[in-house]
Structure 1
């Protein structure tokens, strides 16, 4: 039975009994802030519509640009958002600052979502990967398949692109220097910066947005890049000669938080519960190239197999990478960002 049919059947049954969830919440609404654009449009189709139908509420939408927005909302004493999307490092940081509502244990104990993807006040909802993308016209045969290859400018010459941030670059530099994926943390920052110096002159673009990371590949300004998988795969779907590898990917996640003091926090909890179910989680992959955070979503039959194999959270692809240690970055991001900014200007 399809998700839609299941929901309609449940709603009809509840109405017949006079105790439907929709009736209980008929006059209510919540406001969810996410990243906007095609990303948020996918969430609307995959999740928000389901929440509205099941809970009988209205989901109003807004956009966020990151952690600073949430801090401002909480500091106001009257947040206008009931639920917001952030990156997992941002969620962990806001949680450590006391800027989020603790989540119910019933949410944190939902099966299928790994411990790396949740904290006391946050839980992940989708997965993306920081991967290597390469131009297949430049590399028609042998291609860079890992970070050692990415650093090999003799075997694979050409301009590169990396994110303008210590996050991701510290990790991949150590991988290029032979450190095993399970021994990256705590990061040996001196070793990582030394390794980055080897490739710094070949990094033509330090990208600062997802759109820029894709654009420099599309324009041929660089021949390979470290970037988010969805950005690269979108280029491929548009006909660009770009391919990716999930080898040594950094497994990343976005997550839900409820800003401290949110007026509809109980209803926001119910929305999170609905959107965390495997069969609802699975729907996101039908609208964008990011994977569900709930691994059980791959057993629902909702995601076509050919689509599933191209998602960063597919079990085969997760096994090729490692999880970002958000706790490390909560403690070290500010300090290392200053060092990194000086480094790229040396």
Structure 2
């Protein structure tokens, strides 16, 4: 199941370098300077740390704004290895007993089974500074994993299609008379579409979880209404904003980071946060890795408020430490999922329910995906 930045990362014409404007250029050197003293005192060392990364502009941004400052401050070299997904390699290394990486970034839904298999070491939160601990919500700091970035699936619309004001919620997305025009939805995955449909059907945010069978029936009935108006089911992350820019969509779902990059390049796109679906991806330290102590130091470093801001500027996807907002440009803060105003409107993924087993042994998310694929095929 694809997530966040994976699908179509390098195919889009919308580069995350749009996030790296003059304000960012002035901000990051100050960020690096303010963290140096703390890092040298508590995180200094030698040797290296081997970190998985997605490649492309994501890796370029993290290298520039996180890894290189970490090396300068601590003396520890970061070696990044690139793959589309970390999970297959982590599972293979665990089975063979030869672990070559130290840190991996995981799709949240894959974490529970890997945690149960004992693949990770506990995070050493004693290395974190006070701003990291205070600014990062407890539910994102697990025993052996930490939310490394959040991805919002938002509604986005073309301002040119609605000069008098666009849709404000999922009921408006379904209202093709009041807000006419071609629409887009994300093809590969069920969960986020189910939540949008339930909100459009009038289910309150507090009542979305769990996605019981009766709610799923209601969601599919609602999706039947909008299906004829979906002119293209997008799959790659850059497609949705590009199709808005091309006027092939009037309204669509989109990854927040992709929409933000387009907006900061001047695209006439508006993000709607009401009912956005928020999912976290996790950073983990692999048990048996060659440089565990250095891995702990890098995890502590990148979750510091100032460096977390660098991560956001470099990738477009913020970690959960809200203290980073102090160090970010005001125009970017307004667009982020960790902006308290935006966050209050989001529905956070219920990972425990999605990964729970049904009586037939399938997880809820697998069952949901099977129903989704069957519905899409009809």
Give TM class, smaller chain: 0.7 to 0.9
Aligned residues: 335
- Partners in 2 of 1:105 and 1:78 — Cα distance? 26
- Partners in 1 of 2:329 and 2:294 — Cα distance? 32
Residue 124 of structure 2 corresponds to which residue in structure 1?
A: 104
- Partners in 1 of 2:120 and 2:152 — Cα distance? 25
Decide whether the 8 Å contact of 1:249 with 1:322 is kept in 2. yes
Structure 2 counterpart SS, 1:128: strand
Equivalent residue for 1:37, pick from 56, 63, 71: 56
**Where in structure 2 are the equivalents of 1:174-185 lying within 5 Å?**
174-185=198-209
Structure 2 counterpart SS, 1:38: helix
Range with greater deviation from structure 2 (282-291 or 316-325): 282-291
2:218 equivalent to 1:191: yes
Residue 314 of structure 1 corresponds to which residue in structure 2?
A: 339
Residue 296 of structure 2 corresponds to which residue in structure 1?
A: 269
- Partners in 1 of 2:30 and 2:262 — Cα distance? 31
Equivalent residue for 2:310, pick from 252, 273, 283: 283
Equivalent residue for 1:130, pick from 153, 160, 164: 153
Decide whether the 8 Å contact of 2:191 with 2:365 is kept in 1. yes
In structure 1, stretches of 5+ residues that fail to align are 15-19
Residue 3 of structure 1 corresponds to which residue in structure 2?
A: 31
Equivalent residue for 1:48, pick from 67, 78, 81: 67
Residue 234 of structure 2 corresponds to which residue in structure 1?
A: 207
- Partners in 1 of 2:123 and 2:43 — Cα distance? 21
Larger RCO, structure (CA 8 Å, separation 6 or more): 2
Q: 1:137 to 1:93 in 2, by over 3 A?
A: farther
- Partners in 2 of 1:128 and 1:11 — Cα distance? 28
Structure 1 residue 76, shift from structure 2 partner: 3.0
Structure 1 counterpart SS, 2:240: helix
- Partners in 2 of 1:289 and 1:112 — Cα distance? 19
Structure 1 residue 107, shift from structure 2 partner: 6.8
Decide whether the 8 Å contact of 2:302 with 2:311 is kept in 1. no
Residue 5 of structure 2 corresponds to which residue in structure 1?
A: none
Residue 70 of structure 1 corresponds to which residue in structure 2?
A: 90
2:111 equivalent to 1:91: yes
- Partners in 1 of 2:154 and 2:36 — Cα distance? 39
Structure 1 counterpart SS, 2:290: coil
* Alignment deviations for residues 255-290 of structure 1 (CA, whole Å, 9 cap, x no partner): 201234322222211211111122221222333433
Decide whether the 8 Å contact of 1:162 with 1:206 is kept in 2. yes
Decide whether the 8 Å contact of 1:246 with 1:321 is kept in 2. yes
Decide whether the 8 Å contact of 1:91 with 1:257 is kept in 2. no
Q: 1:236 to 1:5 in 2, by over 3 A?
A: closer
Q: 1:106 to 1:329 in 2, by over 3 A?
A: farther
Structure 1 residue 57, shift from structure 2 partner: 0.9
Structure 2 counterpart SS, 1:215: helix
2:176 equivalent to 1:153: yes
In structure 2, stretches of 5+ residues that fail to align are 1-28, 357-363
2:196 equivalent to 1:172: yes
* Alignment deviations for residues 16-52 of structure 1 (CA, whole Å, 9 cap, x no partner): xxxx854xx32x1111112222222222222212321
TM-score by structure 2 length?
0.81
- Partners in 2 of 1:62 and 1:113 — Cα distance? 27
Residue 12 of structure 2 corresponds to which residue in structure 1?
A: none
* Alignment deviations for residues 303-322 of structure 1 (CA, whole Å, 9 cap, x no partner): 12232122111111111212
* Alignment deviations for residues 83-107 of structure 1 (CA, whole Å, 9 cap, x no partner): 1122333334532443333323537
Range with greater deviation from structure 2 (89-98 or 187-196): 89-98
Q: 1:72 to 1:174 in 2, by over 3 A?
A: same
Residue 166 of structure 2 corresponds to which residue in structure 1?
A: 143
Decide whether the 8 Å contact of 1:291 with 1:314 is kept in 2. no
